[in-house]
């Protein structure tokens, strides 16, 4: 019986169970409260991506979003299109551009190779976005928030002023 248990323990058929993609996770926050928020009617589109790649449709509301990088380039840009009536009518958009180094990384024989990204700079327009902060400039396959995107938000009328 002990021999059978030892044989089973040495047989590993699990293969690669690690997340093989290095995808930076962005979290949306309010610039006035520093709290996580959900943004409604936000469409995210790749700049210079094949067929105008839509990363995320305007619905549903979202509080986080993966923003993939291109391993064949040193820069990736995302266009944030606001589909709320007033903002869309005015043509208000923002663009975030990440400059980075693509770093090949050999994980293991089972998992193979992947890329890590070291973000060297971030540029953005500031129409609705207040600021973009890199929580971690090294993007790996660990599923964690790496980017904080702060949006200008307004409190509902009547809140905050003496109440």
> 30-48: per-residue pLDDT in tens?
999 999 999 999 999 999 8
| Helix/strand/coil for 87 | helix
What are the pLDDT digits (tens) for 75-109?
A: 999 999 999 999 988 999 999 999 999 999 887 78
The residue segments making up the domain with residue 61 are: 27-151
Q: State the number of CA atoms in the 13 A half-sphere of 21 facing the CB.
A: 8
Number of domains in the chain: 1
67 lies in a domain? yes
User: Do the domain assignments include residue 55?
Assistant: yes
Instruction: Examine residue 87 and state whether it is found in any structural domain, yes or no.
Output: yes
CA distance 27 to 44: 14
Q: How many whole angstroms separate alpha carbon 99 and alpha carbon 105? A: 19
């Amino acid at each position: 019986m002990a021999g059978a248990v030892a044989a089973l323990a040495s047989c590993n058929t699990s293969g690669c169970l690690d997340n093989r993609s290095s995808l930076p996770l962005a979290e949306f926050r309010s610039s006035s409260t520093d709290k996580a928020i959900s943004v409604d009617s936000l469409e995210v589109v790749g700049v210079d991506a094949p067929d105008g790649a839509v990363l995320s449709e305007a619905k549903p509301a979202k509080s986080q979003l993966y923003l993939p990088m291109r391993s064949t380039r040193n820069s990736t840009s995302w266009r944030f299109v606001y589909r709320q009536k007033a903002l869309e009518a005015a043509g208000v958009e923002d663009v975030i551009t990440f400059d980075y180094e693509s770093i090949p990384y050999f994980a293991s024989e089972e998992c193979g190779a992947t890329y890590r990204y070291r973000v060297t700079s971030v540029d953005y327009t500031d129409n609705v976005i207040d600021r973009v902060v890199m929580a971690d400039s090294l993007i790996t396959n660990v599923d964690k928030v790496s980017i904080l995107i702060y949006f200008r938000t307004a409190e509902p009328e009547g809140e905050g002023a003496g109440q």
